[in-house]
Amino acid sequence: MSPTANKPSDLCAEFDLLADEYQSNLTNAIAITGETPDFFAEYKVADSLQKVQASNVSSTTVLDFGSGIGNSIPFFRKYFPSISISCAEVSERSIEVSKSRFPGHETYL
């Protein structure tokens, strides 16, 4: 973030500027690993499922805090098929991108 981004609205606007290029920038940034953004998004959600199962906790909802452009949504749907997904994100543009990439019944905050 820029050193001048000091108000919440500045932060939101800065994230909005990144939303459209986020996927390609992330793909380029992790290319050295030989994996895709989907690999890491799925890994995190699958690991979360293992933790939930090990703790014997049950829930009907999940909060994807900082959901960005929705990279985790298909994996929450896959690994937690019966839960309600809430996506919390400060960037309105990221929410728009997420909704267009993964239309569904998620709640956006």
The domains of the chain, with CATH numbers, are 8-108 (3.40.50.150)
| Structure tokens given for 76 | 């929450």
Model confidence at 108, in pLDDT bands (50, 70, 90)? very high
Distance CA 97, CA 33 (A): 25
**First and final C-alpha spacing in the chain:** 22
Q: What is the per-residue pLDDT across 15-55, written as a single tens digit (0 to 9) for each?
A: 888 888 888 988 899 899 999 999 999 999 999 999 999 99
What does pTM read for this prediction? 0.83
Give the tens place of pLDDT for each residue, 51-98.
999 998 888 999 999 999 999 999 999 999 999 999 999 999 999 999
